[in-house]
Amino acid sequence: MFFKFLRLEFKSFFRGSSLGINLAMKILRLIAILYFMVCLLAGAFLVFFYIQEDLHGNPIKIVSKFLIAVWAVDLIVKYLWQEMPTQNIKPFLTLNIPKKTLVNYMVSKTFLSAFSWLNSLFFITFSGIAIFHGYDVIGVLAWLVGVSLLFYLNNFINIIFNDKETVAIIVGCIFAAVAGLTYYNIIPVLEYSEKFFFNFYERPYFVVISIVLFAGLWKICFNYIHKVFYLDQGLEVKKTVGKTENIAFLNKYGAIGTFINNDIKMLKRNKVTKGILLGSVLFLFYGMLMFSSPIYKTPAMTMFMGLFVTGGFQFLFGQRVPAFDSSYYPLMMTLNVPYKEYLKAKWWLMNIVTAASMVLAVCYAYFGWEMYVTFFAAGIYNIGVNSQFTLWSGAFNKTQIDLNSKEKRFGQKNSFNIKALLLLIPKMFLPMVVFGIVQRFFGITAGVISVAIMGLIGFVLREKIFDIIVKHYKVEKYSTLEAFKNKD
């Protein structure tokens, strides 16, 4: 039955209305998966021989020391991106197929995701190298099975807590606290990790722990899904009671104020938009993560960081206009909606957040005022130029967005558009190239001023640029309506 379901999904893929775009996205994903496969396979060799020959240690023991951190990262990645394949199961609920068969298929299919099995490539390769170099065969195999099953437990944890955001936040805070305590050597978590995971090698019978946990969580997960596996319950789109609220002072700005009011309420109420807000906050720390790398100390890459630090909300929110309004966009287009004011409202909202990000980015002055003024110039460029190009790229984004469901997909099929990709040139590469060249020949001050001037020119010419953007939205209007109406 499992293979029958897979065969039906295969046929559904090739009979879909968007076969070309689906194939393009599948090819891109395949390339990404192949890249990570090569990295993990090569990484297994590099890690083993580096530990054995350079550190003169036991590779299995040292790798075991850091497995707890890798396990936590694996859980976070699966929670953020791996999703349950519920949609393709719905049609089978009305057929004479045992519900337990469908539930087991759903659970089993999560193991086919690249997020599930990619890390196994590293462990299998690493274990094969260890056996080849004379390590105990039974011990290595027990270590491989024990560690792999513990990582596969994350699939079940992800399913059970998939829609429990409060629990996810609490667990995330716990992970952060433990990481901090480990970093300052208050709790020796890595030593505990080494003892626990290395026991699979020293005491192969410890693998029973992983087997029992795996079987137990499979059963718990099965019961959890089976209990709510109905069209009108577990697979139903959850509805909440609507609340009326209004930001009164925005109404005095006419249509623009009304649209901004609606967007702020949308950002506050829905899961997807709350994720946008969280992602925007995380973008502020992008420079903290990357500035220590030598490549990011080059002028062009410093500008690259500045564009992301100050423009996180802009990139996450702006490129999905009008996709955020896809549920009522056809209705809106039947009304006398001023297109220019509609887009200007999005533009002002993005730029208000960008301006706030420029102020918050002052913390980067700790690494030198040159870095902060570069970020500040990047923020001006985001306001004057990138905000408009981001809205422009939104005209080609025909992806429907369900605001009440958590987005976990690596890429959406209708968001792949060559025109949107071409708009990345003025958004990212142009300021990097200009800043890098001017800074090299005339100094940091001239580089900052050159990028800031481009931003100011874009701001002054915004009305002319908006006329061009509105024209493109009108050209794409009917194809966008067709895409938003097509639920497949």
Q: Domain coordinates of the chain in residue numbers?
A: 2-227, 248-485
How confident is the model at residue 209, as a pLDDT?
Answer: 94
Residue at token pair 């002072």: 249
Q: How far is CA 487 from the centre of its chain?
A: 23
Number of neighbours of residue 335 by Cβ within 10 angstroms: 6
> CA distances (Å), 412 to each of 91, 220, 361, 416, 473, in order?
22, 31, 31, 7, 20
Give the residue among 162, 156, 127 at the shortest CA–CA distance from 141: 127
Is residue 118 within 8 Å of 40, Cβ to Cβ?
Answer: yes
Tens digit of pLDDT per residue, the chain (488 long)? 656 666 666 566 555 545 555 566 667 778 878 888 898 999 999 999 999 888 888 999 999 999 999 999 888 888 877 766 555 666 677 777 787 888 888 888 788 778 788 888 999 999 999 999 989 999 999 999 999 999 999 888 888 887 677 787 788 888 888 888 888 888 899 999 999 999 999 999 999 999 999 999 999 988 888 887 766 554 444 444 445 455 666 666 677 777 888 888 888 777 777 777 887 888 887 777 665 555 556 777 888 888 888 888 888 887 778 777 777 777 777 777 777 888 888 888 888 999 998 898 888 888 778 888 888 998 999 998 888 888 887 777 777 776 665 544 333 434 444 455 555 666 778 888 888 888 888 888 898 899 999 999 989 988 888 888 888 888 877 777 777 776 54
Count the Cβ atoms, other than its own, within 10 Å of residue 260. Answer: 21
The torsion defined by the Cα of 88, 94, 99 and 105, in degrees rounded to 10, comes to -20
Taking the whole predicted model, whether its pTM rises above 0.85 is answered as no
